[in-house]
Amino acid sequence: MTATLDLSPCPVSWWLPERQLQTLYGALAAHTHRVSFIRDRIETPDGDFVDLDWSAPGLVAQPVAGQHKHSHDNDNIQQVLPELSLQSTGAARWMNPSDRAQLIALDQSAGIQALVLLHGLEGSSKSRYAQSLAQYFRARGWAVVIAHFRGCSGFPNRLARAYHSGDSEEIAFILSAVRHTLPHATWHAAGVSLGGNALLKYLGEYPEQSAWLNAAAGVSVPLDLVAAGNHLSDDPFNRHIYSRYFLRSLKPKVLEKAKRFPGVIDVMRIAQARDLRDFDDAYTAPMHGFHDAMDYWTQAASKPWLKHIRVPTLVLNARNDPFLPEPTLPTIKDASAQVLLHQPASGGHAGFVTGQLPGELSWLPERLGRFFTHRG
């Protein structure tokens, strides 16, 4: 059996008539409620860390005014993290023992639903799509956790490596960590853009290990990374707007790493990178075990893995997404019977803005909620 294809529209706002406006307005200006999170830091097996931002019934995120040193109690690490101000992040404070007790009590209650969200390239819990999804599901009594890829939580990670689109081991680690926190919850996973690609690839590579998930969703996923990477690097608008936007944060992060790890990173090539292909050639690919950008994009793409997915999964891509050429979108022959391909005509890249000015981001959370609940 093959996948199901849904071509029903997203009712995009009439005053956003084309893909670039839908994408940019959704990312930079659309109205959404702001959610404050409680942050937990977990140690990775290779000596690094991942920051998880939690929002759940009973957790009250109130910052501690004037406190610059945050006592961070964790099963894996017992330490004081100096000068880790959360001011520029989406989290209000660090998790404490009473928060953990609340999560234990929540886990023991019947029928708790939970969502783990994986953000896109250089995203975080501050991203508008993350805020809108967290607000929607939290308002319905779900526990929501936004997992930050290494270096995206507002703090540089410890190692020379960072994160990439095909890191199935990292996805497995994150999913295991959140499941350990709420082992009795009914868990769902969603990923946006890069995070969606990594999630879908993991689901296809490890169908048995991921079977505990109730459902999953990938939103605006660059399933064909070669096509998406070339399009972002070669198309003049994409290169000057989107690639430049991403490089504005990627390059300083890597150059800072180069100071901590002298001789490991080609500083000159990073400084001269003008698009994502240049950056992935110079850093992402060699740092994470790939020959070059093309090898990385080919091996990390999630599209070949869709036919192996066994968890009920929504794959949502607007056909006018500026990051991914429409002819490269998957067809029903590319995916398993557990996959629902929803490909509305409009929405842009992770935009899906609806309503009158100033617009709102309610359609995407409602779409995921409908799939998680009814599989439709």
- 160-181 per-position pLDDT tens digit: 999 999 999 999 999 999 999 9
Q: What is the pLDDT of residue 142?
A: 97
Name the band, by pLDDT with cuts 50, 70 and 90, for residue 233.
very high
Name the band, by pLDDT with cuts 50, 70 and 90, for residue 109.
confident
Is the pLDDT assigned to residue 127 strictly greater than 50? yes
Q: What is the pLDDT of residue 76?
A: 39
Task: Give the pLDDT mean for 102-115.
Answer: 93
Is the pLDDT assigned to residue 286 strictly greater than 50? yes
* Order of strands, sheet of 186-192, starting from the edge strand that comes earlier in the sequence: 4-6, 339-342, 313-316, 215-219, 186-192, 113-118, 143-147, 49-55, 37-43, 91-94
Q: What is the pLDDT of residue 74?
A: 44
Name the band, by pLDDT with cuts 50, 70 and 90, for residue 140.
very high
User: Which residues, in sequence order, are CB contacts of 318 under 8 Å at separation 6+?
Assistant: 10, 19, 22, 220, 343, 344, 345, 346, 347, 348, 349, 351, 352
Give percent of the chain above pLDDT 70.
Answer: 94
Domains and CATH numbers, the chain: 4-223+302-374 (3.40.50.1820), 225-300 (no CATH)
User: Which residues, in sequence order, are CB contacts of 12 under 8 Å at separation 6+?
Assistant: 22, 346, 347, 348, 351, 352, 353, 354
Q: How many residues does the chain have?
A: 376
- pTM confidence score: 0.94
Task: Pick the range with the lowest mean pLDDT from 85-94, 136-145, 205-214, 307-316.
Answer: 85-94
| Mean pLDDT, all residues of the chain | 94
Q: What is the pLDDT of residue 63?
A: 58
Token digits for 46?
A: 């290779």
Token digits for 91?
A: 């989290």
Q: What is the pLDDT of residue 376?
A: 78
Task: Give the pLDDT mean for 338-352.
Answer: 98
In sequence order, the β-bridge partners of residue 53 are 39, 146
Is the pLDDT assigned to residue 361 strictly greater than 90? yes
Distance between CA atoms of 75 and 78, rounded to whole angstroms? 7
Cβ(142)–Cβ(131) below 8 Å: no
Q: Tell me the per-residue pLDDT of 13-63, one tens digit each, with 9 for 90 and over.
A: 999 999 999 999 999 999 898 899 999 999 999 999 999 999 999 998 875
